[in-house]
Amino acid sequence: MAKLQRENVIRAALALLDEVGAEGLTTRKLAERLHVQQPALYWHFKNKRELLDALAEAMLAENHLHSLPRAGEDWRSFLAANARSFRRALLARRDGARIHAGTRPGGEPSAAARAQVRLLCEAGFTSRDAVLALAAISHYTVGAALEQQMAEEAGRPADGGLLRDYDQAGPDAAFEFGIETLIAGLERRVSRAAADSRSASSGSAPTAGRSPPRTRPR
Least confident of 7-21, 97-111, 150-164: 150-164
| Distance in angstroms (rounded) separating the CA atoms of residues 141 and 145 | 6
pTM of the model as a whole: 0.83
pLDDT band of 134, cuts 50, 70, 90:
very high
Residue 28 has pLDDT above 80, yes or no: yes
Residue 33 domain-assigned (yes or no): no
Q: What DSSP string runs through 118-182?
A: HHHHHTT--HHHHHHHHHHHHHHHHHHHHHHHHHHHHTPPPPSSTTHHHHHHHHHHHHHHHHHHH
Find the mean pLDDT for residues 44-60: 92
Q: Is residue 72 part of a domain?
A: yes
Our count of domains for the chain comes to 1
- pLDDT score of 98 more than 90: yes
Of 1-15, 30-44, 67-81, 190-204, least confident by mean pLDDT is 190-204
Residue 213 is assigned to a structural domain of this protein:
no
Find out whether 154 and 120 touch, Cβ atoms under 8 Å.
Answer: no
In a domain, 84, yes or no: yes
Q: Give residue 69's pLDDT.
A: 95
- Cα distance between residue 51 and residue 58, in whole Å: 10
Q: What is the CATH number of the domain that holds 133?
A: 1.10.357.10
Higher pLDDT, residue 216 or 107: 107
The answer to whether residue 204 is domain-embedded is no
Phi, psi of 103 (to 5 degrees): -75, 155
For the CA atoms of 57, 67, 100, 21, what is the dihedral angle to 10 degrees?
-80
User: Would you say residue 6 lies in a domain?
Assistant: no
Would 39 be classed as within a structural domain? Answer: no
pLDDT cut 70: percent of the chain above it: 85
Domain that holds residue 137: 67-193
For residues 106-123, average pLDDT: 88
* Contact (Cβ atoms closer than 8 angstroms) between residue 167 and residue 160: no
The yes-or-no verdict on residue 215 having pLDDT over 70 is no
DSSP state string for the chain = -PPPPHHHHHHHHHHHHHHHHHHH--HHHHHHHHTS-GGGGGGT-SSHHHHHHHHHHHHHHHH----SPPTT--HHHHHHHHHHHHHHHHHTSTTHHHHHTT----SSPPHHHHHHHHHHHHTT--HHHHHHHHHHHHHHHHHHHHHHHHHHHHTPPPPSSTTHHHHHHHHHHHHHHHHHHHHHHHHHHHHHHHHHHHHHHTT-PPPTTSPPP-PPP-
Asked whether residue 92 is assigned to any structural domain, the reply reads yes
